[in-house]
Structure 1
Amino acid sequence: MISALNQLVDLVEEHLAEEFDIHGLAGRLGTTEYHLRRMFSSLAGMPLSEYVRRRRMTLAAADVVRGEGDLLSIAVRYGYGSTEAFGRAFRLVGHAARVPLIHQGINPHIQQHITALPQEEHLRLKALSDTDPGGLLQVCDDLDPDSTEGSELTYLHGVAVSRDTPAPDDLDAIEVPSGKWAVFRTAGPHPQALQTTWAATATEWFPSNPWRLRPGPSLVAILERADDFSSATCELWLPVEPV
């Protein structure tokens, strides 16, 4: 089994910037993908997906430090995001509320804010979206710089629209000036995978890169999700500027 796990690590290293065939490897080794993943998690102390995420983040940081491309092309190289719409000014429109910051688990105040909106309002908002990031967005603005648990922030459930798109009078609006964005893609249990990645940007990504947060809202775009929202694939957009 140790030999099989070593081969799995080699496979991951060879294909960090792309998808890798763990199912095919398991078949060649005479075992199952489920068993291989369970054994890896037991011995490494973390799921395979978390190991891959950390390795990609480490290599991306090293590429930035060595100057092997700009931040955005490096993000794409390691599957962290898209180069479209970076630097473009846009507007966020939707329904805003002041809520307390909660670091772990579902924020019931945000959940209550969203579920209070009728279904037709969600559809109306989606129809307004006309720029990247597309679709319904989870927007956090006016955060306490120390991100203290329980401190208040402005949460907006809405969409991004072009600066020249008129905002309906009954919606809250946040103007977003042009600037750079770092985009991180997450997948897994929701909201745990998103919250873990958010924390990792502070402990792993920013300390290793010549970038810092700039004033502005952070955005979460839900790309795919389970019907019960127990898991999701998301993009976390953070406003950044050179150090």
Structure 2
Amino acid sequence: MEWLDRMSRAISLMEKRMEGKTDIEELAREAYSSPFHFQRMFHMLTGFTVAEYIRRRKLTLAAQELASSSAKVLDIALKYGYESPESFSKAFRKAHGITPSEAREAGVSLKAFPRLSFHLSLKGVQDMDYRIVEKPAFRTLGIKITTSTEGGQNHRDITRFWQQAGGDGTIGKIAQLSPGKDLLGICGDMDLANERFDYWIAVENADRPADDEWQEFTVPATTWAVFPSVGPMPDTIQAVWRRIFEEWFPSTGYEHAAGPELEVYPEGDTSSSDYRCEVWIPIAKA
């Protein structure tokens, strides 16, 4: 219940700060967590980034104000943190499909993005296995893309990235960089405030230099919580991800340590009911 109250208080504070800019550090303090952990938890629990939620709520409130008042478009744009009528109009059209001026026409259809609320849901019927691992920094080689979390774009990009790498033989080449080592899916350089991060398909390799074909990424030394996933991909591992943030974090004294996240894929039939892989999350004591 405590984490539920913290997230609900943060939502209430967000709503009070809709006019103007929002301070992520202030919201995180309200949730008694680090800014990174707060943003990562919010995204995993709601499906929206903090920035995306605030953006949609502001445009909902702005539409209501346009439809019910005679305030100038410029004044409403500035009120909700937009620096110019042009930037406001572009965002408004993307959200509602019409211009701010058209929102004042009688009978026009507007979209409303409601305020979020958190409710208690009894979970944890099944035990959740995990282990704590201390691991020094290690170097990886592979390929990467930069993707956005806005609107779930990262899920589509990453799925396509794996399909392309598998279809053109790149995954096999990466595996041969370090025979016997597991393939890694790495979420690195996460810029949650700007809704972007790099995603790598890579393998641990300490010796081979980077070149025009392979780039290097160093995973820093940290403490990891390691969660097994047993079952066909991708449904099983996606369920593990949800449980980590919905059940494990709220019930432990840990929070996200703001480092890269790993998926570790041993060789095997990923469609098999007994395929085993792992999720590695960097953690720190809250």
Q: Scaled by the length of structure 1, what TM-score is found?
A: 0.54
Change (3 A) 1:92 1:140: same
Give 2:126's match in structure 1, choosing from 44, 47, 55.
55
- Provide runs of 4+ in structure 1 moved above 6 Å: none
Output one character per residue of 1:188-217: Cα deviation in whole Å (capped at 9) or x when no partner. Answer: 342222122112212211122222111221
1:108 maps onto 2:156 in alignment:
yes
Give 2:242's match in structure 1, choosing from 187, 199, 203.
199
- The within-5 A match list for 1:1-243 is 54-57=125-128, 78=129, 80-81=130-131, 83=133, 86-101=134-149, 107-117=155-165, 119-129=168-178, 134-145=181-192, 151-162=195-206, 165-170=207-212, 171-223=214-266, 226=269, 232-243=275-286
Confirm or deny: 8 A CA contact 2:232 2:270 kept in the other structure: no
Confirm or deny: 8 A CA contact 2:132 2:224 kept in the other structure: no
Deviation at 1:140, TM superposition (A): 1.1
Change (3 A) 1:156 1:224: same
Bigger Rg over Cα: 2
Deviation at 1:116, TM superposition (A): 3.0
Q: More helix by proportion, 1 or 2?
A: 2
1:141 aligned partner, one-letter code: G
Change (3 A) 1:180 1:54: farther
Distance 2:151 2:252 in 1: 24
Matched residue, 1:34:
none
Count of residues in correspondence between the two structures: 162
Deviation at 1:108, TM superposition (A): 3.3
1:108 aligned partner, one-letter code: R
1:127 aligned partner, one-letter code: Q
Distance 1:138 1:121 in 2: 14
Change (3 A) 1:203 1:111: closer
SS of the residue corresponding to residue 91 of structure 1 reads strand
Confirm or deny: 8 A CA contact 1:225 1:231 kept in the other structure: no
Matched residue, 1:14:
none
Distance 1:190 1:109 in 2: 17
Gaps of 5+ in 1: 1-50, 58-77
Matched residue, 2:79:
none
Distance 2:159 2:274 in 1: 16
Matched residue, 2:63:
none
Distance 2:199 2:155 in 1: 11
Change (3 A) 1:201 1:228: closer
Distance 2:156 2:247 in 1: 28
